[in-house]
Structure 1
Amino acid sequence: MWLIYYIIAINIIGVFIMAWDKMKARSGAWRISENNLLLIALVGGSVGIYLGLKVFRHKTRHYKFSVGVPIIFLIQAGIVVWLFYQVRV
């Protein structure tokens, strides 16, 4: 059950981080590095980062976000499905 809470929390963080970085980009202020944004996606926040990509139209021209984040999501979804079947068997 803790895994579900973690996934929800990290994805909420991902959306907020993308919104914050978009605000910083508009104002010309210090930004969150792309590596840190991708790290959030890698540790389970791929859905949140992707939602931020679409909702805030942020980082949409960057190949590693427009293609990389969906790939990360597919890998994570595959792992979740695999874990689900391991627990059920």
Structure 2
Amino acid sequence: MNVDKAKKRIAKQVNKGFKGYPQITLKYFGKSSDCATEVVIQFTLEEGAEVQEERFVSETDARENEVIQSALLKIIERANANSVMEIAGTSVL
């Protein structure tokens, strides 16, 4: 899938806001705020449930990596998430 198309579909889900559980949370990390080399996706089935987490690491910016963005989108779709939250910006490692 094209990286721009995947990013738009993820952004559309994020823009809906919190609509209940199950919930997916996306967090980006990097050595600087300009380049996110790692993304953490967290899945929460219901309030108070244990959070499941998966990490993706890239040599370049993960936000522009077609494979990672497509994988994130597939996880969101297959989890049938009602809410997709994205932590703004890139946290410095």
TM-score if structure 1 supplies the norm length? 0.32
Larger Rg: 1
As a proportion of its length, which structure holds more strand? 2
As a proportion of its length, which structure holds more helix? 1
Structure scoring higher RCO (CA < 8 A, sep ≥ 6) equals 2
